[in-house]
Structure 1
Amino acid sequence: MPLPRLVSSTLFAGVIATSAAAEGTLILFANGEELATEGFLAPELTRDGWELRFDHIFVTLSGVAALQTDPPYDAEAGGVPEASVTASFDDADQITIDLTDTDTDGRVRIASVTAPQGHYNAVTWSVVPAAAGDWVGQSIVFVGTATRDGETVDFTLTSADTHDYTCGEFVGDTRKGLVTPGAEADLELTFHLDHVFGRADRDASGHMNSHALGFDAFGAGGTQEIALSGLHIGHVGEGHCAVSYR
């Protein structure tokens, strides 16, 4: 099957603010981490012992926005963030990215926007079926090879699920989303693939592995559908998100 036509990652969109403020640049990235770029390699095989290598992981996004919230948004409690400033990245258009097509830092640059200064401590976005292109109707597509016990199969796993994410502050080695006048700041949408396929090097009875699909169901290879509802793939670093599926 031919590859999809990716939407340009240099999209710019508007900012809605409650008052005029000094501005900087806010840059949005996506990150599938090493499980996307390197694959599920020993000892980090899938929960059922498959090695996975990905040629492409296409994800279609919509409604991506960064928020300044007070009080800080609590993803565990859910609800609607109380935003004083909202910076929109996609202007209601879809953005299709490939989590394997990264920069030297292992991330995919999605878009940038001029934004009022302040701390953007919440992010909202949706994973949606593509409205056009070669993967029309699919929201996430995994393309790659799987190997176990000396047998290798090619696979294409397609999902039409829609996921809506509302996330609090990025959790990682550094704080993100701190916009200062005339400077650049960044935010990250993080996709945890071990929540889909599990990890053989983790406790088999742990929450992640007990909910993950593994790869056995897709071991015949070829093109198959994969249901991602309920797997909580999207994060902000290690920060959690409230998520609903439709």
Structure 2
Amino acid sequence: MNPRQHTSSRSARWHDMAEHIVRQGSASVTELAESFGVSVMTVHRDLDELERQGMVRKVRGGATAQASNVWESNIAYRLKAHTAEKDAIARLVAGLIEPGSSVMLDDSTTALAVARHLGELAPLTVVTNFLEAIRLLAGTPDIRLIALGGEYHASHDSFLGLGCVDAVESVSTDVVVVSTSAISETYAFHQEQEIVLVKRAMLRSGARRILAVDGSKLARVALHRVAPLDDFDIVVVDAGAPAELLQRLRDHHANVQVAQL
């Protein structure tokens, strides 16, 4: 095998291994070695590279695509997780948006689900830093699309950093829709400070602030506080969330709306 073929084979294995871990949520080193017909040492080297690319996170004995309180899951995993819940939330959120208004969306997959419904509400002005949402809405009739720039992060498929914060602060929208990785009864949280800074800027730039989170994120915390829940006008959660957690959330927030699945 010549060097070019070796590189191609290795790249293909990295791609397939990442997809395998994303599909299952996690995998052990032994399982990966057997599945891909390589040595345990090769798997460790492959996982080092996939972690460097932001695709997976190495843990003891294997790797995971799932979030922890200090690490957010890769965009490929998040796009496949809780899709029915996110769509239910998105339908409810879309019903809160008036045609002719301006809407800012963060780089969450829940906000992307909302973006899929915005063509029905046109004319609208949509502002976002999420490249997948930009691709989705580009060319949609009567959607004025404003893309927020900054440094591109492949693991989130979005633009972040100081350039993005500056871009956010240069506009003001009628509505801002954000999601976070975790919420307690009183705070919304996220693992990564660059994303926290952008979300905070977005909240300052929206006249009405909507927090959209699926039930898996309730009663959890992550490394960084994004904002108190009192900073949001509306919190939207899906009906699949445990009733006890929904009640605890209602006890601490005046406007919790539940999306039916």
Q: TM-score range by the shorter chain?
A: under 0.3
Q: Looking at secondary structure, tell me which structure has more helix per residue.
A: 2
- Using CA pairs under 8 Å that are at least 6 residues apart, name the structure with larger relative contact order, 1 or 2: 1
Q: Looking at secondary structure, tell me which structure has more strand per residue.
A: 1
| TM norm structure 2 | 0.22
| TM norm structure 1 | 0.23
